[in-house]
A and B are shown apart, each in its own frame.
Chain A
Amino acid sequence: MARYDRAITVFSPDGHLFQVEYALEAVRKGNAAVGVRGTDIVVLGVEKKSAAKLQDSRSVRKIVSLDDHVALACAGLKADARVLINRARIECQSHRLTVEDPVTVEYITRYIAGLQQKYTQSGGVRPFGLSTLIIGFDPYTDVPSLYHTDPSGTFSAWKANATGRNSNSMREYLEKNYKETSGQETVKLAIRALLEVVESGGKNIEVAVMTKVHGLRQLEEAEIDAIVAEIEAEKAAAEAAKKAPAAPKET
């Protein structure tokens, strides 16, 4: 047992936890994920790396539900994600059992973040190498929520956020283009942000939508393709509009 209480996560002289920072590196290498909150809807979008020909793509769902009203997407080590998701699902049911109420999104986010933090302050273990985006609706209200956690165990609520590969570019795009949207507009905003860094096409993106009434719904590839086509058309129209006023000047 003596071998196991050597702490892996220790402070550096200038106050860094290197293991946590290395875990964040692992997150930065993970697939891109984006979440956008609307007035009556929350959307998660995840980059799907091209599947091997023989792989059954349905077994590689990247957006999972934790309960009827909460869903999660993550970037980073997928095996760590499985463990965290299982613990979160148990906690959702345990909460229903002890207080006869479904969890609030903030509660389960706090639980997951707390779990991630515990593994940065224990002997013999390494931090979880993933950041999560958690969406959902609180029970009894119609208010949608989007939360983000990271390997250090911090969490906060967001109107829109991105994590994983090229998350900075996605976040910049969202900061420039975010406005309060609802319904299909929110879905389009999420996909537009994802398309900034991902090859366009329905087979490279996985999108799921959560509403109060219908819960979590994964979008079909065909649906995503249709929305992508709409977005491309809008982009082309915008480009044309930019060029058109200049045309009369040319002779």
Chain B
Amino acid sequence: MKFDTSGLESAAPVWGAPSELVDGFSAAPSFEVPNTTDFDGFQKEAIQMVKPAKGTTTLAFIFKEGVIVAADSRASMGGYISSQSVKKIIEINPYMLGTMAGGAADCQFWHRNLGIKCRLHELANKRRISVTGASKLLANILYSYRGMGLSVGTMIAGWDETGPGLYYVDSEGGRLKGMRFSVGSGSPYAYGVLDNGYRYDMSVEEAAELARRAIYHATFRDGASGGVASVYFVGPSGWKKLSGDDVGELHYQYYPVMPSTVEQEMVEAAGA
């Protein structure tokens, strides 16, 4: 976002070639307004139609050793499960991760775009971009598309010079710094487990197990979440995938079937 500097521009027009790579993405887009009697109402309806419900569970939290990022892998279209193996944790660069909630295409595209911007920043400034800066770049882009139907609820997690960083960024243009976040339709269930079990001084294994359990419980109760619970850890040397467990198998790990005593056993009837 640039200040309005028009008052300070010199009068002579400068016909320099605009940079397509940067201007194409950062210029605020617009489209023609349709003819309706009630444009505001029409706009609200259009957004409701375009915005898919954020059917997912993602979470991330900062603790003593770094950042844990975890997500499920189910994609749903209404009541139809379209995929059980969606990658909802996006690798922006070797030390930064983004999570996907909302429109899959929107999240994937804009995270890749953010990766491009981060790399260009590194090349120009000879040092890595901070998590603060990266999340702000994304938030500014999403703000400029506000009201046009993008659906993105993402967390940017990473490790920079100042240590671990975690930001929540969404398509309304909001950006929040925090220690614990969960995003998606399964987030209330995940928060319940996460907030209950969270301690700052956990080991990496303890933190990963907490994240895994939180995702599992969300997939148990929320129909729009399921598939595989992936857990990533971001530390001083970058991110590392710790585990990817099928939540069905996790269920029987946490709640193994107890053989129960039977009083009578049914015997197969001999003959007809």
A residues neighboring B (CB under 8 Å):
4-5, 83, 86-87, 90, 93-94, 97-101, 104, 106-107, 110, 118-119, 121-125, 140
Contact = CB atoms under 8 A, between A and B. Distances in A.
B150 to A, nearest CB: 20
A4 B2 CA distance: 27
Interface stretch (B4-12, B36-44, B107-115, B262-270): B4-12
B25 interface: no
B15 A140 contact: no
A122 B3 CA distance: 23
Contacts of B1: 97-98
A86 B12 CA distance: 17
A28 to B, nearest CB: 24
Interface string B1-30: 111010010101111100000000000000
A249 B17 CA distance: 74
A110 B124 CA distance: 10
Contacts of A123: 15
19 contacts: A4-B15, A87-B8, A94-B2, A98-B136, A99-B133, A99-B137, A100-B132, A100-B133, A100-B136, A104-B125, A107-B125, A110-B124, A122-B14, A123-B15, A124-B12, A124-B14, A124-B15, A125-B10, A125-B14
Given A107-B125, A124-B12, A140-B161, 18 more contacts: A4-B13, A83-B8, A87-B8, A90-B8, A93-B3, A97-B3, A98-B136, A99-B129, A99-B130, A99-B137, A100-B133, A101-B132, A104-B125, A110-B124, A118-B14, A118-B16, A125-B10, A125-B14
B243 interface: no
Given A90-B5, A122-B15, A124-B15, A98 B140 contact: yes
Contacts, number: 55
Nearest to A104: B125
Contacts of A119: 14
Contact of A90 (B3, B124, B136): B3
Contacts of A83: 8, 10
Nearest to A117: B16
Nearest to B162: A140
A139 B136 CA distance: 19
A82 to B, nearest CB: 10
A5 B15 contact: yes
Nearest to A89: B8
A185 to B, nearest CB: 30
B66 to A, nearest CB: 20
Contacts of B5: 87, 90
A240 B41 CA distance: 91
Interface string B123-164: 011000110110011001000000000000000000001000
Contacts of B132: 99-101
A119 B15 CA distance: 9
B122 to A, nearest CB: 13
A106 B125 CA distance: 8
Contacts of B10: 83, 125
B13 A101 contact: no
Contacts of A122: 14-16
Contacts of A140: 161
Contacts of A121: 16
A125 B11 CA distance: 10
7 interchain residue pairs of minimum CB distance: A99-B133, A122-B14, A123-B15, A100-B132, A125-B12, A122-B16, A118-B16
Contacts of B13: 4, 124
Contacts of A90: 3, 5, 8
Nearest to B177: A100
Contacts of B137: 98-99
B16 A101 contact: no
Contacts of B129: 99
Nearest to B134: A99
Contacts of A87: 5, 8
A90 B3 CA distance: 8
A122 B130 CA distance: 34
Contacts of B133: 98-101
Given A122-B15, A123-B15, A94 B136 contact: no
A86 B8 contact: yes
Contacts of A101: 130, 132-133
A119 B16 CA distance: 8
A81 to B, nearest CB: 13
A222 to B, nearest CB: 37
A106 B124 CA distance: 10
Contacts of A118: 14, 16
Contacts of A5: 15
Contacts of A110: 124
Contacts of B161: 140
